[in-house]
Amino acid sequence: MNKWDEIKKRLENLGGSVELMADGHKVKLRKVHNGKKIFVVVYVDDYQKGEWTRHEDGKPVHPEARFWRPVKRAAYRKKGYNQLKRAFGKKKADQMVTPQVIGFVPDFGTEGAVVAHLKKHFPDLEILDSETEFKK
């Protein structure tokens, strides 16, 4: 079993968790619910700080936010694209309805989504055993 399948397996049940080491940070993933929705929450070095949600030009300001899910939204809906095109022109209208990163949030909808994100950005991460202590 490879490490990606191991991460998914540990997160398949509610309350499941896994600790990882990536780029010098201890990342903890935990499957939780808020009464209505089940999702995977991400802690970096045992913290979640609100200031990590910020971005500049679609890139995170704080390096810890790289482990979080980027949130993308468009300034305007595609529903009004024809009106935007008439008012601003095609090039500007295309920019207005194209989703752009507006921030980073510490949760993912499924364990598959978090694994896909980690696989893309941190291919060399390692899974920590429950007995392993984090050492800087």
* Radius of gyration from C-alpha coordinates of the chain: 18
Sorted by where each begins, the domain ranges of the chain are 1-49+107-136
The pLDDT tens digits for 66-99 are 999 999 898 899 999 999 999 999 999 999 999 9
CA 28 to chain centre: 13
Residues 6+ apart with CB under 8 A from 86: none
Measured distance CA(110)–CA(136) in Å, rounded: 30
**For the whole model, what pTM was predicted?**
0.79
| pLDDT (tens digit per residue) in 45-73 | 998 998 988 888 888 889 898 999 999 89
Helix (H, G, I), strand (E, B) or coil at 44: strand
